[in-house]
């Protein structure tokens, strides 16, 4: 069995966000980058659990420049067997999905895991596009994944509840909270990751369907006003005249 986990580089959630070039580019100055949490905590860790239970081969793939290599090396340290970096530079979801699909088509994976979304763009589109390009079944926002031979039983969230589906491999699955518990690389894994294969390939020809016009920061939050408990009339006035909620 072969499993592929898609890895994305994202800013740490504590990073201070700023933009350059007339607000058309994200400024990376002073920003710490991490594995996208949905890719690491849920997709990758569940893949590791399956690998440990079945002896499967676990590959990692990312689309990006050389600056993504520390991130994918960390994924190798967690337990991936081999990593692939597709040397493409684009924020377009279709382009990225096309690169992953082309790689997966050559390798013939039984399971392809993605995080449900990245924490920087929140697009949630990669998994579905990869599945369509490969003509494979796709199950999104999965919170549980069990495997019995070549049949996967997957529990996913729907509005107002959950549903359980069964699908035969190969399959593409996007993963969210509940799929697995986060792991921390140990020293042995970190040292081993330095010598594990990381293959760099050139991207295939693919269209770029979207481009970033501009970024905007959300409006600054207003200051907090404290109203004495013995002055409910002032609270009502503020809610009516300033907050305009009553």
Residue 123 lies in a domain: yes
Range of the domain at 33: 2-218
pLDDT at residue 9, as a whole number: 92
pLDDT of amino acid 91 = 86
pLDDT tens for 130-177 read: 999 999 999 999 999 999 999 999 999 888 889 999 999 999 999 999
What is the pLDDT at residue 188? Answer: 76
Question: Domain for residue 150, yes or no?
Answer: yes
Below-70 pLDDT ranges, the chain: none
Q: What is the pTM of this model?
A: 0.85
Query: Is residue 61, in this structure, part of any structural domain at all?
Result: yes
pLDDT in the model for residue 82: 95
Is 232 inside any structural domain?
Answer: no
Report the CATH number that the domain containing residue 192 is assigned in CATH: 3.40.50.620
Q: Is residue 227 part of a domain?
A: no
Q: Does residue 237 sit within a domain?
A: no
pLDDT confidence of residue 152: 97
As given in the structure block, the two tokens for residue 58 are 């676990």
Tally of domains within the chain? 1
Is residue 224, in this structure, part of any structural domain at all?
no
Residue 60 lies in a domain: yes
């Amino acid at each position: 069995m072969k499993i592929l986990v898609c890895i994305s580089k994202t800013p740490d959630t504590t990073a201070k966000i700023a933009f350059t070039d007339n607000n058309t580019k994200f400024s990376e100055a002073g920003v710490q980058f991490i594995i996208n949490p949905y890719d690491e905590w849920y997709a990758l860790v569940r893949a590791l659990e399956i690998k440990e239970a079945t002896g499967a081969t676990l590959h990692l793939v990312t689309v990006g420049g050389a600056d993504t290599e520390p991130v994918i090396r960390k994924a190798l340290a967690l337990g991936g067997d081999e990593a692939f970096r597709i040397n493409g530079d684009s924020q377009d979801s279709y382009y990225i999905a096309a690169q992953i699909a082309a790689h997966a088509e050559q390798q013939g994976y039984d399971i392809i895991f993605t995080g449900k979304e990245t924490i920087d763009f929140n697009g949630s589109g990669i998994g579905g596009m990869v599945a369509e390009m490969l003509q494979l079944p796709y199950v999104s926002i999965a919170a549980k994944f069990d495997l019995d031979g070549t049949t996967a039983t997957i529990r996913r969230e729907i509005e107002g509840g959950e549903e359980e589906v069964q699908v035969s491999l190969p399959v593409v699955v996007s993963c969210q909270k509940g799929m697995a518990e986060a792991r921390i690389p140990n020293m042995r894994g970190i040292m081993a990751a330095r010598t594990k294969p990381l293959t760099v390939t050139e991207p295939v020809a693919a269209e770029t369907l979207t481009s970033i016009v501009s970024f905007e920061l959300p409006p600054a939050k207003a200051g907090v006003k404290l109203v004495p408990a013995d002055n409910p009339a002032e609270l009502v006035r503020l809610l009516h005249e300033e907050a305009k909620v009553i």
